[in-house]
Amino acid sequence: MRQIGVPHPRLPLPSAGGEDDMAEFLAWLGEAIPMVAALGIREMRRDGDRLSWQLSLTPSLNDKGTGFGGALTAQTTLLGWCWTTLWLRRRGLARDVVVAEATQRFLAPVTGDYRLTCEPEAETGPEALAGRLAQRGKGRIALVQRLWCGDTLCLEARGDYAVLPAG
């Protein structure tokens, strides 16, 4: 049982140059952040610099029978945190990540199961983050999350994620 003020143990880093098992990472995430179990995440996948989730709408329904904006916003924020954390882990770094700033634009109602994607806002974002970490021991990256219900873009979000100094 999680306790307030007590950090959850980190998931061991993958072997050198290795990839995280997405199912294992998602299981750990559900233990570390209890609300994850209620988000309806069915699958987590990485393809190059894009991380995506497949989600069920049912846990995030609002009073109108569509996606509840607060739940969708939490999901976009968490997906960006996951992107940054997994990026660090692939480089053998176990570091704390926090969202520094986040915005959302709701474009259409979410009326069925959906997918969320997350990728760097700029193609050079990961390289720039790696440089700042090497020089200063900390850094930020801007990520964009998009929520798709079928072929319809329903939500676009942007977040700045800060990697804190080791220590």
Mean pLDDT of the chain, nearest integer:
95
pLDDT(23) > 80: yes
What per-residue confidence (pLDDT) applies to 19? 86
Q: Dig out the tokens for 108 from the structure.
A: 């259409």
| Mean pLDDT computed over 97-112 | 98
Which of 44, 33, 25, 53 is closest to 114 using CA atoms? Answer: 53
Residue 149: alpha-carbon gap to chain centroid? 18
Verdict on whether the full-model pTM lies above 0.85: yes
pLDDT(17) > 80: no
**Residue type at position 53:** W
The Cα 83–Cα 85 span in angstroms is 6
| Mean pLDDT computed over 13-26 | 87
Q: Would you kindly state where each structural domain of the chain is located, as residue ranges?
A: 22-163
What per-residue confidence (pLDDT) applies to 115? 98
Looking at CATH, the fold of the domain delimited by 22-163 is given as Thiol Ester Dehydrase; Chain A (3.10.129)
CA distances from 13 to 86, 94, 122, 129, 164 (A): 10, 7, 27, 19, 17
What per-residue confidence (pLDDT) applies to 2? 84
